[in-house]
Chains A and B, each alone.
Chain A
Amino acid sequence: MATAIRDVELSAPLAAIADLGAYSRCLLVFRWRRRVVGRQFVPVFSDRLDTGAIIQAASQCGADASYRWLADTIGYDERDFVGARPLTATVAICTRERPVDLSRTLTAVAPCIDAGHQIVVVDNAPRTSRTREVVERFRGVRYVCEPTVGLNVARNRAMREASTDLVAFTDDDAIPEAEWLDALIANFGDPRVLCATGLTLPIELETDAQELFEDLSPFGRGFRRRIFDGQHDNPVEVGRVGAGANMALRRVAMDLVGPFDERLDAGTPTRSGGDHEMFVRILAAGYQIAYDPAALSWHRHRRTHDELRDTLRGYGVGVYAMFTGLFLERRELGVVRLAWAWFRSAHLPELRRWLLRRPPTRTSPFILAELRGCLHGPAAWFASRRLRAQR
Chain B
Amino acid sequence: MIAPRFSVVIPTHDRRDAVMRLLRALRRQDPVPGGFEVVIVADGCADGTVEAVRKLDTGFPCAVLEQSASGPAAARNRGAAHATGDILLFLDDDVEPQPGVLRAHAEFHAQVADGIGIGYLEPLVTARGFFGVVLRGWWESMFEESRRPGHRYVYSDLLSGHCSLERRAFERLGGFDATLRSHEDYELGYRAIAAGMNLRFVPDATAVHHEASEIEKTFQRKVDDGIADVSLLRRYPALGVSLPLARGRAPGLVGRVATHLAAISPRAGDGFAAGARWLLRAYERVGLRFRWRALLDDLLVYWYWRGIVQASGGTDELAAMLRKAPPPAEPDLELDLARGIAEAEHRLDELRPPSVRFVYREHAIGTVPERDGVERLRGIHLREMIVRHFAHEYLRAAARAGAIPHGLPPLPAEIMNEPAPRHPERRRPRSALVAR
Contact = CB atoms under 8 A, between A and B. Distances in A.
Interface of A: 10-14, 32, 55, 58-63, 65-67, 69-71, 73-76, 78, 80-84, 189-192, 222, 224-227, 230-231, 234-235, 284-286, 330-334
A222 B434 CA distance: 11
A10 B412 contact: no
Interface residues of B, number: 45
A63 B412 contact: yes
Q: Most chain-A CB neighbours within 10 Å: which of B137, B407, B432? A: B407
Contact of A11 (B201, B203, B407): B407
A337 to B, nearest CB: 11
Contacts of B415: 63, 66
Contacts of A75: 341, 383
Identify the interface centre among B144, B203, B404, B433: most chain A CB within 10 Å of its CB. B433
A192 B140 contact: yes
Given A65-B408, A66-B408, 8 more contacts: A11-B405, A63-B411, A66-B409, A76-B383, A76-B387, A191-B140, A231-B134, A334-B289
A12 B286 CA distance: 57
29 contacts: A10-B407, A61-B409, A63-B411, A63-B415, A65-B409, A66-B395, A66-B404, A66-B408, A66-B411, A66-B415, A67-B433, A70-B387, A70-B391, A70-B433, A74-B394, A76-B433, A83-B201, A83-B202, A190-B144, A225-B434, A226-B434, A226-B435, A230-B137, A231-B134, A285-B133, A286-B137, A332-B287, A333-B286, A334-B289
Contacts of B3: none
A225 B435 contact: yes
Contact of A78 (B289, B386, B433): B433
Given A224-B433, A285-B133, A82 B147 contact: yes
B149 A226 contact: no
Contacts of B312: none
A284 B201 CA distance: 29
Contacts of A222: 435
Contacts of A13: 407
Contacts of B383: 74-76
A75 B342 CA distance: 10
Q: Which 7 pairs between the two chains have the least Cβ-Cβ distance?
A: A83-B203, A286-B133, A331-B287, A231-B137, A224-B435, A76-B383, A10-B407
Contacts, number: 119
Interface of B: 122, 133-134, 136-137, 140-141, 144, 146-149, 151, 201-204, 286-290, 341, 383-384, 386-387, 391, 394-395, 404-405, 407-412, 415, 431-436
B387 to A, nearest CB: 5
Q: Which of B122, B394, B405 has the most CB of A within 10 A?
A: B405
Nearest to A8: B407
A310 B148 CA distance: 46
Nearest to B392: A63
B395 A82 contact: no
Given A10-B408, A230-B133, A80 B149 contact: yes
Q: Main secondary structure on chain A at its contact with chain B?
A: loop
Contacts of A286: 133-134, 136-137
A21 to B, nearest CB: 27
A190 B431 CA distance: 15
A69 to B, nearest CB: 6
A67 B407 contact: no
A192 B140 CA distance: 7
B341 to A, nearest CB: 6
Contacts of A234: 290
A377 to B, nearest CB: 20
A225 B435 CA distance: 6
B115 to A, nearest CB: 14
B288 A333 contact: yes
B148 A82 contact: yes
A81 B149 contact: yes
Contacts of B137: 230-231, 286
A60 B410 CA distance: 9
Nearest to A11: B407
A78 B431 contact: yes
B87 to A, nearest CB: 20
Nearest to B342: A75
A73 to B, nearest CB: 8
B204 A83 contact: yes
B341 A74 contact: yes
Contacts of A12: 407
A29 to B, nearest CB: 14
A46 B149 CA distance: 51
A331 B288 CA distance: 9
Contacts of A83: 147, 201-204
Nearest to B122: A191
Contacts of B203: 82-84
